[in-house]
A and B are shown apart, each in its own frame.
Chain A
Amino acid sequence: MIHARGLGRRFGEKRALTGVDLDVDAGEFLLVTGPNGSGKTTLLRLFAGLIVPTAGELEVRADRARIGFLAHEPLVYRELTPLENLDLYGRLYRIPERRERIGMVLERYGLWEARREQTAALSRGMLQRLALCRTLLHEPELLLFDEPFSALDAAGADLLLDELSRRDARRTIVVSSHQPERLGDRPTTRLSLATA
């Protein structure tokens, strides 16, 4: 699914990531650990195709429509409601039976009641739940989670762990976290990044 050779990325003079060699097959669960500033976010953004490498090679065998990326920011519009945000993404991802699917994820992540509130008024934990809805809305095959536990309350974290436990041969998962113990024995591969 993911093949990287000597992968590196620079931002201006700063090197965010250097010399990553990695092979992740479809169906695997990769855990990325490392201290702050070691390039976890950069690595996941590279996988997601949001940035291009400045060194080495990277091949990600997944269509853009089949990637789900949970970023630091929820990537939703503050002025829109959760429903409107998901509707926009549902349209852009061309999700069949959009309304039903949106209703399902909202229900699942406990946002149904808040669906018509302004996103700006949501608590940090609710925002992260909305971000999870956005990430999972189009049933991606490659899931990229950047520090998914931050801002999630206990109930939200349980829902996330449920999602991460759903495994099959077509679902590849990459999680970056500085709390790897929360994932238990779910990860099948590990990558530890050192400060560049």
Chain B
Amino acid sequence: MSTSLRNNGAFVFSLAAAVLLTTGLGLALLWAPEDADQGPSQRIFYIHVPVALTAYLCFGWAAWKAFRLLWKRDERADLESYTAVHMGVIFGLLTLITGSIWAKISWGVWWTWSERQLVLFLILFLFYSAYFMLRYSTEPGPRRARSSAVYALFGAVLLPVSFLAIRLAEQLLHPAPLFNRDGPQMSASMFITFCVCLAAMVTLAAALYLIELTGKRADASLRELREHLA
């Protein structure tokens, strides 16, 4: 019963993600006005930034589930946290790829250390790859669940700390105020397009998360069943 409900959730999210993605891409390509400075290449912004925000969301969700595991001893949270990290890494990798393409188009190079978000994602990518190493080289069990949870929690703390570190590292070579508030100005149509794309990516991540979680849970129950029969 509960499994079929969860499957329905995944189905609804998948459908919503498909609709939103089509709409978002349509808006981004056809409706949103062209950027005065960067021309059509700027439209990758509507993919790159929502993907990045979704990755943050996944890492945050993973940390929240990790916290639940440690605090409430909710054992199901182990698989949830792991799946969320998995999604975060996929979207993080997409962020790196789209960011790299954007850098190539804008500055003619595939990589630039001056793009903070890109550098941050590189650090996060290293961090969460180590998370997978930790999981794969430790025997499954309560200790692995807790160690992974602690590491996932560290990730959520490392994120803002690393962000600050990247700002500070830039300061060393080019002194400037630490925080500035002159973000890019968006017109209303750009903002709407951006919001639709963001919603699309978040829904896509949620759908993938639920599908993978269902699969992993089925795996686990199958293993238990097989053991009972053995």
Give me the interface of A with B, judged by CB distance under 8 Å.
10-13, 15, 52, 54
- A selection of 12 A-B contacts at a CB cut-off of 8 Å is A10-B141, A11-B139, A11-B141, A12-B139, A12-B140, A12-B141, A13-B140, A13-B223, A15-B227, A52-B142, A54-B141, A54-B142
A10 to B223, CA, bound (A): 13
A13 to B219, CA, bound (A): 13
9 cross-chain pairs, A with B, having the tightest CB-CB distances, nearest first: A12-B139, A12-B140, A52-B142, A11-B139, A11-B141, A12-B141, A15-B227, A54-B142, A10-B141
A11 to B138, CA, bound (A): 11
A139 to B198, CA, bound (A): 64
Q: Closest chain A residue to B223 by CB distance? A: A13
List chain A residues, Cβ under 8 A from B141. Answer: 10-12, 54
A12 to B223, CA, bound (A): 11
A13 to B226, CA, bound (A): 11
A42 to B139, CA, bound (A): 16
Q: Determine the interface band of chain B, counting residues with CB < 8 A from chain A.
A: under 10
Q: What is the minimal beta-carbon distance from A54 to any residue of chain B, in angstroms?
A: 7
List chain A residues, Cβ under 8 A from B142. Answer: 52, 54
List chain A residues, Cβ under 8 A from B140. Answer: 12-13
In chain B, residues 42-90, which have Cβ atoms closer than 8 Å to a Cβ of chain A? none
A67 to B155, CA, bound (A): 37
A11 to B223, CA, bound (A): 14
Q: What is the minimal beta-carbon distance from A59 to any residue of chain B, in angstroms?
A: 16
Q: What is the minimal beta-carbon distance from A48 to any residue of chain B, in angstroms?
A: 16
Binary contact readout B137-177 vs A (1 if CB under 8 angstroms, 0 otherwise): 00111100000000000000000000000000000000000
List chain B residues, Cβ under 8 A from A11. Answer: 139, 141
A183 to B227, CA, bound (A): 36
A52 to B141, CA, bound (A): 10
Binary contact readout B118-147 vs A (1 if CB under 8 angstroms, 0 otherwise): 000000000000000000000111100000
A157 to B142, CA, bound (A): 37
List chain B residues, Cβ under 8 A from A15. Answer: 227
Q: What is the minimal beta-carbon distance from B220 to any residue of chain A, in angstroms?
A: 12
List chain A residues, Cβ under 8 A from B139. Answer: 11-12
Given contacts A12-B140, A15-B227, 7 further A-B contacts (CB under 8 A): A10-B141, A11-B139, A11-B141, A12-B139, A13-B140, A52-B142, A54-B141
List chain B residues, Cβ under 8 A from A10. Answer: 141
A15 to B142, CA, bound (A): 14
List chain A residues, Cβ under 8 A from B227. Answer: 15
A54 to B220, CA, bound (A): 14
List chain B residues, Cβ under 8 A from A54. Answer: 141-142
A107 to B142, CA, bound (A): 41
Q: Closest chain B residue to A15 by CB distance? A: B227
Q: What is the minimal beta-carbon distance from B216 to any residue of chain A, in angstroms?
A: 16
A6 to B55, CA, bound (A): 42
